[in-house]
């Protein structure tokens, strides 16, 4: 069985961060979102993974440089270009030659799924179904694609963000296909927004007399990281799984550390600082006279002097030197944040790469 990760989206919900790079590389607990999907596939025994990329050479090269050939995960990665944002079904169809006659799993590149996909991969490989979808039961199904099932758990219909959902079962963003999906994609028409929808292709399978679509349910946490709020929420969930502290960097006397904290090589935490976990601090960072609060991820090569930061993500290569309190924020790479000496207040911000602000 092969894997396919869709990473060609423009990430408009995460601008300004995605003006300069793919949303799938925004770090969650100091690891790019897309890496979680690759790890899930590798853990499930999938050895060949295609990644759909687009639409500019700059974005494609950024992804290739970050991911490489897949050897670090024990897999082989092939990059497949999508020429324009023509929909998820079109993205899947771009991988037709790569898949050949093999079954495959599709993973949306901005999704994080706690618990992995191994059990679903094993079941689908041994089934006679043409497709399967991963579902979750939620309280607000109208925000998602919604599935209707029969008593066997087979999918009888799919609706995309319906006003009046017929169930609470929503698409998670992980799909399993036999090559018959390509024939279905060839039969569908663009939706109202001008895209070939994957839900339309699956519905084409459903109405076929010769095809069956199965459902799987996850009771684990999952999220798509398409907005700043979702990214920060995912960061909190992943950091909550930090079960112990790991101090590879240097921590001076006089530093107070509470909870589970991970500090990578080359980092220095200077006296007078306080860290309350769960927190991860990357490589070659310097923290001085600052408070780093729970659910904060600090990327590599970051300097923080003074002030407080909590429930936030600092992507890396950043300097924060201020006496302010930064909360629930997402700070892009190569940013500089300074202060004018005004009284301590709380600030929430989303800052794109190479920004410079004074507060």
Q: Which spans in 25-104 are helix H?
A: 33-43, 57-67, 88-93, 96-99
Tell me the sheet residues that pair with 263. 247, 281
Same domain, 247 and 181: no
User: 283 pLDDT exceeds 90?
Assistant: yes
Neighbours of 153 (CB within 10 A): 12
Same domain, 68 and 30: yes
Same domain, 71 and 195: yes
Residues 6+ apart with CB under 8 A from 52: 4, 5, 6, 7, 8, 80, 81, 82, 91, 92, 94, 95
pLDDT value for 152: 85
Same domain, 210 and 268: no
Span 189-209, mean pLDDT? Answer: 89
pLDDT value for 107: 94
Same domain, 277 and 174: no
Same domain, 54 and 197: yes
pLDDT value for 229: 86
Same domain, 157 and 188: yes
For residues 354 and 247, which has the higher predicted lDDT (pLDDT)?
247
pLDDT value for 20: 53
Is 234 inside any structural domain? no
Domain boundary among 227, 256, 286: 227
pLDDT value for 332: 86
The CATH number for 320's domain is 2.160.10.10
Q: Provide the mean pLDDT of the chain.
A: 89
Write the pLDDT tens digit of every residue in 140-183. Answer: 898 888 999 988 888 999 988 888 999 999 999 999 999 999 99
Hey, what are 336's tokens?
Answer: 């500089």
* Percent of the chain with pLDDT strictly greater than 90: 63
Domain count, the chain: 2
Span 281-290, mean pLDDT? Answer: 97
What range does the domain containing 299 cover? 242-358
Which of 124-128, 192-196, 338-342 ranks highest by mean pLDDT?
124-128
Residue that the structure tokens 């602000």 belong to? 357
Is 237 inside any structural domain? no
Same domain, 93 and 211: yes
Is 212 inside any structural domain? yes
Identify the band that residue 344 occupies on the pLDDT scale cut at 50, 70 and 90.
Answer: low
Tell me the sheet residues that pair with 113. 222
Identify the band that residue 36 occupies on the pLDDT scale cut at 50, 70 and 90.
Answer: very high
Same domain, 112 and 194: yes
pLDDT value for 163: 87
User: 236 pLDDT exceeds 80?
Assistant: yes
Hey, what are 358's tokens?
Answer: 């004074």
For residues 78 and 153, which has the higher predicted lDDT (pLDDT)?
78
Is 10 inside any structural domain? yes
Same domain, 148 and 62: yes
pLDDT value for 341: 60
Is 86 inside any structural domain? yes
Write the pLDDT tens digit of every residue in 306-342. Answer: 999 999 999 999 999 988 899 999 998 888 998 876 5
Domain boundary among 227, 258, 280: 227
Identify the band that residue 106 occupies on the pLDDT scale cut at 50, 70 and 90.
Answer: very high
pLDDT value for 57: 77
Identify the band that residue 290 occupies on the pLDDT scale cut at 50, 70 and 90.
Answer: very high
Span 119-148, mean pLDDT? Answer: 92
The CATH number for 38's domain is 3.90.550.10
Same domain, 85 and 205: yes
pLDDT value for 9: 61
Please report, in angstroms and rounded to a whole number, the separation of the first and last CA atoms in the chain: 52
Q: How far apart are CA 212 and CA 214, in angstroms?
A: 7
Span 73-89, mean pLDDT? Answer: 91
Is 150 inside any structural domain? yes
Write the pLDDT tens digit of every residue in 246-255. Answer: 999 999 999 9
Neighbours of 252 (CB within 10 A): 12
Burial class from Cβ neighbours inside 10 Å (0-12, 13-18, 19+) for residue 282 reads: buried
User: 18 pLDDT exceeds 80?
Assistant: no
Domain boundary among 227, 252, 277: 227
Helix axes 57-67, 33-43, angle to 10 degrees: 50
pLDDT value for 10: 57
Same domain, 257 and 209: no
Is 287 inside any structural domain? yes
Question: Of 333, 349, 355, which Cα lies nearest the Cα of 30?
Answer: 333
Positive or negative: CA dihedral 104, 77, 75, 223:
negative
Residue 302 contacts residue 283 (beta carbons within 8 Å): no
Span 102-119, mean pLDDT? Answer: 91
Span 11-31, mean pLDDT? Answer: 68
Is 145 inside any structural domain? yes
């Amino acid at each position: 069985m092969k894997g396919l990760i869709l990473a060609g989206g423009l990430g408009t919900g995460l601008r300004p961060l995605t003006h300069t790079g793919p949303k799938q590389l925004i770090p969650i607990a100091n690891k790019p979102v897309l890496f979680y999907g690759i790890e899930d596939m590798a853990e499930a025994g999938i050895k060949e993974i295609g990644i759909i990329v687009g639409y500019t050479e700059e974005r494609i090269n950024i992804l290739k440089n970050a991911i490489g050939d897949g050897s670090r995960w024990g897999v082989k990665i092939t990059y497949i270009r999508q020429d324009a944002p023509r929909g998820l079904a079109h993205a899947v169809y771009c991988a037709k030659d790569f898949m050949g006659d093999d079954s495959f799993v599709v993973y949306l590149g901005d999704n994080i799924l706690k618990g992995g996909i191994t059990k679903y991969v094993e079941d689908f490989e041994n089934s006679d179904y043409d497709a399967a979808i991963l579902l979750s039961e939620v309280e607000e199904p109208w925000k998602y694609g919604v599935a209707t099932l029969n008593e066997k758990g087979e999918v009888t219909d799919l609706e995309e963000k319906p006003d009046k959902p017929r169930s609470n079962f929503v698409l998670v963003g992980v799909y399993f296909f036999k090559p018959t999906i390509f024939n279905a994609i060839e039969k569908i028409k663009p939706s109202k927004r001008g895209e070939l929808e994957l839900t339309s292709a699956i519905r084409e399978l459903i109405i076929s007399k010769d095809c069956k679509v199965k459902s799987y349910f996850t009771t684990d946490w999952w999220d798509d990281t398409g907005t700043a709020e979702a990214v920060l929420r995912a960061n909190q969930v992943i950091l909550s799984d930090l079960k112990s502290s790991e101090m590879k960097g240097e921590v001076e006397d006089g530093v107070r550390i509470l909870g589970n904290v991970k500090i990578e090589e080359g980092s220095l935490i200077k006296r007078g600082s306080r860290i309350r976990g769960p927190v991860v601090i990357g490589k070659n960072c310097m923290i001085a006279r600052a408070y780093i609060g729970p659910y904060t991820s600090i990327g590599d090569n970051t300097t923080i002097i003074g002030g407080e930061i909590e429930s936030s993500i600092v992507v890396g290569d950043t300097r924060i030197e201020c006496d302010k309190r930064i909360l629930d924020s997402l700070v892009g790479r190569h940013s500089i944040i300074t202060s004018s000496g005004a009284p301590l207040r709380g600030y929430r911000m989303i800052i794109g790469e190479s920004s410079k602000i004074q507060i």
